[in-house]
Amino acid sequence: MRESLSITASSVDPALLALPWSTPLAEWPTSTIVFLPKGISRHLVRFASLSGRVVAIKETTEEMARREYDMLGNLHRLDAPCVERIAVIAGRTDADGTPLPAALVTAHLKFSLPYRALFTQVLRPDTATRLVDALAALLVRLHNVGFFWGDVSLSNTLFRRDAGAFAAYLVDAETGELHEAGLTRGQREHDLDVARTNIAGEIMDLEAGGRLEGGVDALAVADGIV
């Protein structure tokens, strides 16, 4: 099966070939998997150890994996805050020759956490405000380099604590577009509208699960993205 693999990477770590690509990601052995907090994703994402560091592996279509790999490379060259791309693994099959999804491999951002892992019991108003402030700062930086996100949300972002505040990083670029001529006003406003809707929904989900401190207004928190 290894002979059928197609690997796209700026440089191939030999340890990458040792990962169990002929096994569906959901069935990888615990000896390979690293258990870290994960955000909500439309695709299966798991962490693994690779040459002394942790990588995130996302199963998706080959087209989407290559598109996101290219996008992350472009954003990295523009010094945008985002995760580092490592490889696209395509041509996967199981032991019976049945095709498996392609995989996008990215470096785990040290000391970063998804927003749901940043509080132990309930989300306090001040924490909610700092999270949205960090996301707003990230969105400004991305817009300034011509990146139209298309799916702005807390879930598509990783956060690091930074001297009493948070720093935000793009972790999911599969819906994004890069425009060398810059973004139109309509594109910027669309991202803001999507951000408001998604953030309000995410805060309301916390409220429904009993993880929101009383008095937090989800709509008011979401409006902080502007």
Separate counts of helices (H) and strands (E) for the chain? 5, 10
Output the pLDDT for position 2: 55
Helix (H) or strand (E) holding 131: helix 125-144
Pair (90, 11) in one structural domain:
yes
Output the pLDDT for position 49: 94
Domain count of the fold of the chain: 2
Pair (70, 23) in one structural domain:
yes
Residue 8 CA to residue 90 CA, distance in Å, equals 8
pLDDT less than 50: residues of the chain: 1
On whether the pTM is more than 0.75, the answer is: yes
Q: Which of 60, 91, 107 lies at the terminal end of a domain, its last residue?
A: 107
Pair (94, 140) in one structural domain:
no
Output the pLDDT for position 163: 83
What is each CA distance from 217 to 29, 36, 196, in whole angstroms? 42, 30, 13
Query: How buried is residue 79: exposed, middle or buried, by Cβ count under 10 Å (0-12/13-18/19+)?
Result: exposed
Helix (H) or strand (E) holding 207: helix 185-208
Expressed as residue numbers, the domain containing 175 is: 115-223
Q: Residue 64 belongs to a domain with what CATH number?
A: 3.30.200
Q: What angle do CA 14, 29, 117 make, to 5 degrees?
A: 95
User: What residues pair up with 102 in beta bridges, in sequence order?
Assistant: 60
Sheet holding 85-90, edge to edge: 6-8, 85-90, 102-107, 53-60, 45-50, 33-34
Pair (37, 132) in one structural domain:
no
Residue 55 CA to residue 13 CA, distance in Å, equals 12
Q: Is-contact 33 40, C-beta < 8 A?
A: no
Pair (96, 166) in one structural domain:
no
Q: Residue 215 belongs to a domain with what CATH number?
A: 1.10.510
Q: What angle do CA 165, 171, 177 make, to 5 degrees?
A: 115
Output the pLDDT for position 177: 97
Pair (82, 171) in one structural domain:
no
Pair (199, 151) in one structural domain:
yes
Q: Which of 86, 107, 128 lies at the terminal end of a domain, its last residue?
A: 107
Residues 6+ apart with CB under 8 A from 141: 80, 81
Pair (52, 34) in one structural domain:
yes
Pair (72, 19) in one structural domain:
yes
Tell me the two tokens of residue 55. Answer: 């990588």
Q: What is the largest CA-CA distance in the chain?
A: 58
